Amino acid sequence: MNKLVLKPGKEKSLLRRHPWIFSGAVAEVRGNPGVGETVQVCSAQGAFLASAAYSPKSQIRARAWSFREAEVIDQAWLEAKVGAAIAYRRALFPRAPEPHGVRLLHGEADGLPGLVADRYGDTVVMQVASAGAEFWRETLADALLAQTGCARIYERSDLEVRELEGLPSRSGPMRGGEPPEFLEIAEAGPPALRFRVDVESGQKTGFYLDQRDNRALVAREAPGKDVLNCFCYTGSFTVSALAGGATTVLSVDSSAEALRLARENVALNGLDPERTEWLESDVFKALRLLRDRGRSFDLVILDPPKFAPTASHAERAARAYKDINLWGFKLLRPGGTLVTFSCSGGISPDLFQKIVAGAALDAGVEARLTQRLGAAPDHPLLLSFPESEYLKGLVCRIS
């Protein structure tokens, strides 16, 4: 068995079951492991710490599969991991509406580092972001099809992080041929909603399944309110607000294609288009423009893309988060509510709250935090891997 031997004192994170081994912790590589092959990770004294997938070009030199020496990382082991993850989702949503949208595999939190799989009806969208998941790609795809009974797998391994792993970008049908141009999923609610999903060119795997519970919260907040939805993408929060009884919703996004699909999602749910307003614009510019025009709202939703993929981007991202939250607060009417999110792994929950607090101070408003939000439960958080808490949300009410 090929081995990674750590430098003295570098085993502490593995003893706490954190699954990443960084290059600076490695003293030597014994043997000649290939990209993605399984290696034993040992302490400087030779004690077994983990079985991990080797990635020679990445700063994350290996990602742990297992911390049990007796476990062998093979087809049967991987199939069992996939099966356990899918069984958890079935128990989580025993009466899910069809066609269902659900995250089946959530990377490290399901013991499968660098692998994401989302189900949209009869289609699974798979993202492979690590050398280990790439090595076992075919096995994992077979397991997903066998254990879900889906018709096809579409791959969206077109992530920037693959470059860091020394892997090429890849996107396209993997099993079962091309999917329809748009898939459709249903959410139970309340309110019960339906959405069209573009798995070929949409963001992430096509849809933000992680915001499922937060869409329901927005619906509860919306009755009788004028709503501003920024970075609206395909309009899931817009649809939720309208279905919940919002008086009006202004939706802003820089993508004309996303706004077109957002309009279709409003129509799909039989909602009144006269209560909607659409603005194709850079959100940073739009927020200032709306303020200059004297617009104001009862509920403002800020769900921007990832500003800080890693901690090294945090300082610049913090300025962007503060800017949009500052203007979000300024656009609120007295007694209004800001629902604001960060999906940046490089921004901790504590830092995000400090940024929003600073924005409220600079906006001259007194804001109270009434609720913290996160990802839906099919996107679990591994306690030994705090990096998996990527989605952070705050509900803030002003006086």
Coil, strand or helix at 152: strand
pLDDT value of position 313: 80
d(CA 79, CA 140): 7
Q: Is residue 148 part of a domain?
A: yes
Number of domains observed in the structure of the chain: 3
pLDDT of residue 113: 98
CA-CA distance, 51 to 279, in Å (whole number)?
51
Catalytic residue set? 343
Residues contacting 335, CB < 8 A, separation 6+: 298, 397, 398, 399
pLDDT of residue 1: 85
DSSP string, 16-67: TT--EEEGGGEEEEES-PPTT-EEEEE-TT--EEEEEEE-TTSSEEEEEEES
State residue 387's pLDDT score: 86
Domain with 102, as residue range(s), is 75-175
Looking at residue 311, its pLDDT comes to 72
What's 215's domain CATH number? Answer: 3.40.50.150
Cβ-proximal residues to 145 (8 Å cutoff; 6+ apart), any chain: 124, 153, 175, 176
Q: Are residues 227 and 79 in the same domain?
A: no
What's the 3-state SS for 301-318? EECCCCCCCCHHHHHHHH
pLDDT number for residue 130: 98
Calpha distance 373→153 (Å, rounded):
31
- Residues 188 and 96: beta-carbon distance below 8 Å: yes
Answer positive or negative: Cα dihedral of 384, 386, 390, 395: positive
Considering only CA atoms, which of 141, 159, 153 is closest in space to residue 204?
159
Give 101's strand partners: 120
59 and 130 both lie in a single domain:
no
| Model-wide pTM > 0.85 | yes
Residues 25 and 113 reside in one and the same domain: no
- CB neighbour list of residue 114: distance below 8 Å, 6 or more residues apart: 63, 107, 108, 128, 129, 130, 131, 132, 133, 165
Q: Which amino acid is at 174?
A: M
Q: What is the CATH number of the domain that holds 60?
A: 2.30.130.10
For 388, the token pair is 């998996």
Which of 34, 66, 98 is at the close of a domain? 66
Residue 309 has what pLDDT?
73
Structural domain includes residue 56: yes
Residues 358 and 274 in one domain: yes
For position 262, what pLDDT does the model report? 98
What is each CA distance from 128 to 26, 200, 390, 397, 398, in whole angstroms? Answer: 25, 15, 18, 40, 42
* Residuewise pLDDT in 10s, the chain (399 residues): 899 999 999 999 999 999 999 999 999 999 999 999 999 999 999 999 999 999 999 999 999 999 999 999 999 999 999 999 999 999 999 999 999 999 999 999 999 999 999 999 999 999 999 999 999 999 999 999 999 999 999 999 999 999 999 999 999 999 999 999 999 999 998 899 999 999 999 999 999 999 999 999 999 999 999 999 999 999 999 999 999 999 999 999 999 999 999 999 999 999 999 999 999 999 999 999 999 999 999 999 999 999 977 777 888 899 999 999 999 999 999 999 999 999 998 899 999 999 999 999 999 999 999 999 999 999 999 999 998 899 999 999 999
- The 10 Å Cβ neighbour count of residue 161 is 16
User: Which residue, among 322, 302, 259, 315, has the nearest Cα to 393 in the 3D structure?
Assistant: 302
Same domain, 385 and 332: yes
